[in-house]
Structure formats: C-alpha cells, structure tokens
C-alpha cells in the first residue's frame, strides 16, 4: 500500500515542480534601431541603384547574354523616380498609411489600379480586372490573368521583406494577400522569395545561407524553387564561369513560360528570379559584380539587378555602400516618386515604423535603443501551379486561312494587324486542337463588349475598353481558357454592340490565337551536360 501511494505521490510532486518552474524564454534577435534604419535605407537605396544600373539594357538581351558596355554613374539613380519597381510598392505603403496594415486586398488593388502611372503584364491585367469588377484573389488567378507566373510581384514585394526583419512568417502572411492581387503560383513565390531574402539579410551576411533560408518560405516542389536550386548546382559546377552556368540554365528554363509563349521574350518570375540568384552567388558580395551578372543575364535586366542589389543593401546598410552612391541617393532623398506621396526618406521612415509595429505585434519589443524580434521559422506556402502540363503549340494570325470563321461586317485595322467589329451579332470563331487557347486583341479607348462561347457554352462577357492614364494596350489576351480536355475545340466571340459609358465605341479587336497543348514544361529526364 505504501509503495502504491508513493507511486501516486511522486509523479504528482514532479508535475507540481514542472508546472511551477519558469518557462524557457522564447528566442529573440536584437538589432539596434540605428542599425535597423541604416539597413532599411540600404535596401531602398539598393533597389534604386540596381534598377537604374540595368535600365538601359532592359529586354535588349532575350535568350542571350548582354555583352555591350554598361554605363552607369551614381547620379543616374535619380531615374528611379519613374521606375515601376519602386512606385507600385510605394502605393501599397500608401494603402497601409490610409487604411491600416490589415486593410483588405481589394483596397490595395483599388489604390494601385487608380494610380496614374503605367502598368504592364500581370499588374495591368490586375488593374483591368479591378475595373471589370474582378477582385483578389481572382484578379491574380490563372482563370483571369494569363500573366500570373510573371515577374510583377517579385519586383514589388521588397517593402514586405524590408519591414519584416527576421520575420519570414509575417512576410508570408502579407505576401499571400498582396501577391494574389496580380499573381499566383510561381508569380507569388517570386515575391515571397525576395521578401524572405531581405528578412534574413538583416541578421545574416553569408549569401548562400540567406538563399537557403529564403527557399524554406516557398514549396520545394515548385518550379520556382527548382530553378533556384539549379542555379546553386550550376554555380558549384562552374564556380568561376557564370556564362557557362547561364547557358545550361537557359537550355533548361529559357522557354518555360506562358505569357511570352513562342517568343524569346521571357518575363516569367522563375527565370528572372534565377538571374537574381546568379548575381548574388557569382557577385560574392561585391555590389558592382552582383549587378553586372544579374544585368548581363538578360531579359528583365533592370528588375533583376534591382532585387539583387537590394539584398546587398540590407546586408551592408546604406553606410556600407560606396560613398558616391550614398551621396547620390541622399541628394534626391526628398524627391517624390511619380504618382505617390513618397520619397526615399519617407520610405525609410515609414518602413522603420511598420517594422517596429510588426515586431511588437509578433511578440517582440521596441525601445528607443533596440528592436527585439521574436524568432520565426520559415513555413512554406501551399503548392499552387498556375498552368499544369500546359505548353505552347502555335500562333495563328486572324488573317491566316487556318481555323478562323468570320461572320458579319468585320473590318481590317492597322495594316493587317487586327480585325474589328462593333456590330451586334457579328461573330468570329477559331477551331483548334489542344487543351487551351488565348485570343489576342486590343484594349482600346473605343473598345466594346463581346460574349465568349467555348464549344457552344457561354463562358462570360468580355470588355475590350481600356484608356487609363491615356494608356491603351494592343496584343493583349482578351480571353483565355486552359485545362480543356485534349481534342478539337471551338471558341467564338459574338459582338454585343454594347460599351461602358466612357468608351468612345463598341469595337472588339482580334489579332491572333495562341494555342496550347498538354506536355511537360521541363522533361523529368532533363540532365545538365555535366550530369550525362
């Protein structure tokens, strides 16, 4: 009996002792407020320096490296005032200023949709979607945005990483909301990845370690993560020859895209993200070398050095950059970026303010001297794949005698560039073999509406009007559909003869059809030359 009671009492005593013992303190990282502000300033300055360094080369090298001279002087940084890499994300900061950090995604979409600057690709589709009453996350979904894998969120997610020092989970939460305004899948992962690079760069100087840690925030099975892993592998194989690594990367990933399918132009987030990593790894911490490699890789060669240089800016801080660069940035410190109320100095101050708030909200502590940040471990997003097993097949001009059937009073526009009609009941149809199609046309100030049928089923009404900030767009996907069963399909547009009040006409423009089929984007059996 005594032994029995003892067996009961001892565990109870142990439980009391454990429950009364002080709990281990959570792990924290501490950074001085002065250092934090300097690193934030370095990040913003890096963006501005990198984007102006590469700006003259943008898309001048497609499917090849850029081998001409690169001419940049520190005073060129003033050109960042007109760069979408900067002004879009400043609009997101303005949204937070006006509606709070927890404002719904629709508010962020609204302010950037109504901002007076020009937009392109996934961003302009998200703007068009706003005016067509398509809101997040549908505005970035592949059903409503053919550019969903593009680079857009990747080049405007910097502010998220800048204001989340050492907080990758917090950065992911913000990126989930903002990234799906204009992107999905790999397009979102691009922004998540660069934000995670910055979040880690506040406390880590080793670039390979920063890259490895940032990869933990995106799904390892995503194409984006695979492309970055390939760069790491190639850099190990060709440690002193980035061009050899580039050639291998181009052979595997250079044509993996939907937006620019069939062209050498590639604005896909994963290829351009790989170029960011190329610059970081081969640059070895040297700002000029880092920007040069990311720029010479080609394609979107102002955005990529901008992201790469911003990572170094966070690592080094503004005071760690070349003095001439510091002075050039400071000289324009109060200049306002177009269609925003933000300057460099304001961006630094507001980012610092939001970083302090986010740290405190997530279990940290802010004092006059230091910011104490509760450690967060990266957690990857759920896997999203925008266009699984979808590959380019062919393009067919509306003037080609292949697949098209036209009924009604369609006229020719722009030296055999488009067919258009504004007459109600006029039809244009295209029959093809495949699993997806994009009908390419124009968004003009005299655009009107059409009903879209696929295999006889009404899908939705499209509106071809666009005239925002005096910007029109030709060669846009006015309607697309994917994931169709393999076989023959017919897509038909029926002109409604209707328009929104602000349009100058009711015209529907059609230029060509882009046909997609089922296939492997990247062969599962693909081997680099040194693996064969």
pLDDT in tens, 116-137: 999 999 999 999 999 999 999 9
Residue 26: pLDDT band with limits 50, 70, 90:
low
Instruction: Give percent of the chain with pLDDT exceeding 90.
Output: 92
What local confidence, expressed as pLDDT, does residue 2 receive? 38
First-last CA distance in the chain: 74
What is the Cα–Cα distance from 225 to 230, expressed in whole angstroms?
9
Question: Does the pTM of the predicted model rise above 0.85?
Answer: yes
CB contact at 8 A, 123 and 84: yes
CB contact at 8 A, 451 and 494: yes
What local confidence, expressed as pLDDT, does residue 350 receive? 98
3-class secondary-structure state, position 521 = coil
3-class secondary-structure state, position 101 = coil
CATH 1.10.4080.10 domain residues, the chain: 29-374
Lowest mean pLDDT among 89-93, 232-236, 256-260: 256-260
> How many helices (H) does the chain have, and how many strands (E)?
17, 15
Fold of 29-374: ADP-ribosylglycohydrolase fold (1.10.4080)
Closest CA to 189 of 223, 231, 229: 223
What local confidence, expressed as pLDDT, does residue 416 receive? 86
Q: Mean pLDDT throughout 361-390? A: 96
Residue 110, preceding bond cis, omega within 30 degrees?
no
Q: Mean pLDDT throughout 243-258? A: 96
What local confidence, expressed as pLDDT, does residue 397 receive? 97
As given in the structure block, the two tokens for residue 197 are 């690079």
- Tens of pLDDT, residue by residue over 405-430, are 999 999 999 888 999 999 999 999 99
Q: Taking 60 as the threshold, does the pLDDT of residue 9 lie above it?
A: no
Q: Mean pLDDT throughout 42-59? A: 98
What local confidence, expressed as pLDDT, does residue 532 receive? 77
Specify whether the backbone of 470 is left (phi greater than 0), alpha (psi in -120 to 50) or beta. left
Fold of 390-518: Jelly Rolls (2.60.120)
- Tens of pLDDT, residue by residue over 197-247, are 999 999 999 999 999 999 999 999 999 999 999 999 999 999 999 999 999
Please give the radius of gyration of the chain, using alpha carbons only, rounded to the nearest integer: 26
Cα-flanking dihedrals φ and ψ of residue 472, to 5°? -110, 165
What is the Cα–Cα distance from 293 to 213, expressed in whole angstroms?
22
What local confidence, expressed as pLDDT, does residue 521 receive? 79
Closest CA to 280 of 255, 257, 297: 297
Specify whether the backbone of 408 is left (phi greater than 0), alpha (psi in -120 to 50) or beta. left
- Tens of pLDDT, residue by residue over 156-208, are 999 999 999 999 999 999 999 999 999 999 999 999 999 999 999 999 999 99
Residue 325 to residues 151, 289, 305, 318, 421, Cα–Cα distance (Å): 27, 15, 15, 9, 54
CATH 2.60.120.260 domain residues, the chain: 390-518
Residue 469: pLDDT band with limits 50, 70, 90:
confident
Q: Is the dihedral of CA 328, 332, 338, 343 positive or negative?
A: positive
Residue 522: pLDDT band with limits 50, 70, 90:
confident
Produce one character per residue of 212-225: b if its CB has 16 or more CB atoms within 10 Å, e if not.
ebbbebbbeebbbb
CB contact at 8 A, 391 and 516: yes
């Amino acid at each position: 009996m005594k032994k029995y009671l003892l067996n009961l009492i001892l565990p109870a005593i142990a439980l009391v002792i454990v429950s009364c013992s002080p709990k281990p303190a959570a792990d924290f990282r501490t950074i001085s407020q002065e250092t934090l502000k300097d690193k934030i300033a370095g990040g913003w300055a890096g963006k501005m320096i990198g984007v102006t360094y590469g700006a003259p080369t943008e898309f001048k090298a497609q499917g090849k490296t850029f081998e001409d001279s690169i001419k940049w002087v520190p005073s060129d940084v003033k050109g960042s005032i007109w760069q979408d890499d900067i002004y879009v994300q400043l609009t997101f900061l303005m949204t937070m200023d006006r509606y709070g950090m927890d404002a719904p995604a629709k508010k962020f979409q609204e302010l950037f949709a109504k901002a007076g600057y020009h937009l392109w690709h996934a961003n302009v589709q998200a703007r068009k979607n706003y005016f067509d009453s398509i809101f997040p996350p549908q505005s970035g979904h592949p059903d409503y945005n053919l550019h969903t894998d593009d680079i857009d969120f990747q080049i405007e997610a910097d502010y998220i990483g800048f204001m989340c020092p050492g907080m990758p989970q917090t950065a992911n939460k913000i990126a989930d909301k903002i990234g799906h305004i204009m992107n999905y899948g790999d397009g979102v992962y691009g922004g998540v990845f660069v934000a995670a690079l910055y979040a880690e760069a506040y406390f880590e100087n080793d670039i390979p370690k920063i890259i490895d840690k940032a990869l933990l925030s995106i799904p390892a099975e995503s194409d984006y993560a695979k492309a970055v892993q390939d760069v790491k592998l190639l850099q190990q194989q060709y440690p002193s020859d980035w061009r050899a690594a580039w050639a291998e990367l181009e052979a595997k990933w250079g044509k993996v895209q939907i937006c620019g399918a069939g062209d050498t132009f590639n604005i896909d987030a994963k290829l351009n993200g790989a170029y960011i990593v190329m610059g970081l790894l081969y640059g070895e911490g040297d700002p000029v070398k880092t920007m040069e490699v990311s720029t010479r890789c080609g394609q979107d060669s102002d955005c990529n050095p901008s992201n790469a240089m911003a990572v170094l800016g966070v690592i080094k801080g503004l005071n760690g950059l070349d003095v001439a660069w510091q002075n050039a940035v400071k000289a324009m410190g109060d200049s306002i970026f177009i269609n925003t109320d933000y300057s460099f100095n304001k961006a630094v101050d507001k980012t610092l303010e939001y970083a302090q708030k986010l740290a405190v909200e997530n279990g940290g502590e802010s004092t006059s001297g230091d910011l104490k940040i509760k450690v967060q471990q990266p957690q990857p997003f759920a896997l999203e794949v925008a266009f699984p097993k979808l590959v380019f097949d062919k393009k067919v001009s509306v003037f080609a005698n292949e697949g098209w059937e036209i009924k009604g009073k369609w006229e020719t526009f722009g030296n055999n560039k488009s067919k258009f009609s504004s007459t109600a009941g006029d039809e244009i149809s295209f029959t093809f073999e495949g699993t997806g199609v994009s009908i390419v046309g124009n968004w003009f100030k005299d655009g009107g509406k059409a009903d879209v049928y696929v295999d006889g089923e009404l899908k939705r009404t499209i509106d071809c009007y666009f005239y925002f900030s005096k910007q029109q767009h030709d060669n846009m996907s006015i309607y697309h559909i994917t994931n169709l069963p393999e076989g023959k399909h017919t897509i038909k547009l029926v002109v409604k003869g209707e328009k929104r009040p602000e349009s100058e006409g009711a015209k529907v423009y059609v230029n060509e059809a882009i046909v997609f089929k089922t296939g492997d984007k990247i062969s599962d059996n693909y081997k680099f030359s040194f693996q064969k």
